[in-house]
Amino acid sequence: MALVPTLNDRAQRLADYLAANATLLRVAVHTTAGARVIDCGVKAPGGLQAGLGLARVCLAGLAEVTLIQGEVGGVACPHVVVSSDTPIAACMASQYAGWQVSVGKFFAMGSGPMRAAYGKEDIFADIGLREKPAVAVGTLESRKLPDDAVIDHLRQALEIPANKLTLCVAPAASCADTSRGRSRAGATALPVKPGRVKGLSRRVDRGEPSGESRRIQRPG
């Protein structure tokens, strides 16, 4: 009997694709304290395709994410379309930015399926879907790449070796994270008690990041 891949297993395959096509997608791959860090817009330029890849990793491959032509106020603007038959797993257990990662002067909003491996957010009491995967994959919304201390913090929180951890990183104002951030509208469209939701399709203009998203700061 074939084993069903975890959310993190699914995201690992997509992160592998990003890493294998780093030059084409204009991302950079680093090893930090043993963990794989994929820079999608901090120092690397990133781009639209990197943003789509980042969104798919964040959704653990459980949603279709595409760009289509559209307009906002009569001005041409790409729209991000997200469709999923498993929106609770894709959006709430994986994509939702619910983990504040704060280590020293480093702060990021953590999302992606590593949240299901961590499993300590209140939302998991409602939706279940906690998992103990062999690998962990997450995304960090930050202007800085994580250092050794951040990797050590996450490794301990996730209870996995650092070499089994992959982090995709991009600031909110980057080209890549704008696409990923707009794809997150699927998560915000779901009700607080989403147990009866069986599918989701959401279209949002890609636009530019809001002033608020540009100024995500460490609390306190």
In a domain, 175, yes or no: no
pLDDT at residue 68, rounded to an integer: 81
Q: Which residue has the higher pLDDT, 147 or 80?
A: 147
In a domain, 173, yes or no: no
In a domain, 171, yes or no: no
Write down the H helix ranges in the chain: 7-20, 22-25, 48-58, 87, 114-118, 123-127, 148-158, 175-183, 185-189, 211-214
Residues 6 or more apart whose Cβ sits within 8 Å of residue 129: 7, 88, 89, 92, 93, 116
Q: Give 38's DSSP letter.
A: E
Q: Are 117 and 131 in contact (CB under 8 A)?
A: yes
pLDDT at residue 65, rounded to an integer: 87
Say if residue 216's pLDDT is above 50: no
Q: Which CATH number is 151's domain given?
A: 3.10.340.11
pLDDT at residue 103, rounded to an integer: 97
Question: What are the tens digits of pLDDT across the range 137-190?
Answer: 999 999 999 999 999 999 999 999 999 999 999 988 776 655 554 455 444 444
- What number is the average pLDDT over the span 74-80? 77
Q: Strands 28-32, 136-141: parallel, antiparallel or unpaired by DSSP?
A: unpaired
Residue 6 CA neighbour count, 13 Å, CB half: 18
In a domain, 218, yes or no: no
Percent above pLDDT 70 for the chain: 77
In a domain, 217, yes or no: no
Question: What are the tens digits of pLDDT across the range 102-136?
Answer: 999 999 999 999 999 999 999 999 889 999 999 99
Look at the alpha carbons of 79, 83, 88, 94 in this order and tell me if their dihedral is positive or negative. Answer: negative
In a domain, 92, yes or no: yes
Say if residue 7's pLDDT is above 50: yes
Number of domains in the chain: 1
Q: Which residue has the higher pLDDT, 63 or 207?
A: 63
Confidence at 217, pLDDT banded by 50, 70, 90 = very low
Query: With 0-12 CB in 10 A as exposed, 13-18 as middle and 19+ as buried, what is 119?
Result: middle
pLDDT at residue 177, rounded to an integer: 55
- What number is the average pLDDT over the span 32-51? 94
In a domain, 149, yes or no: yes
pLDDT at residue 84, rounded to an integer: 86
In a domain, 110, yes or no: yes
pLDDT at residue 102, rounded to an integer: 96
Q: Are 18 and 27 in contact (CB under 8 A)?
A: yes
Range of the domain at 73: 10-164+180-205
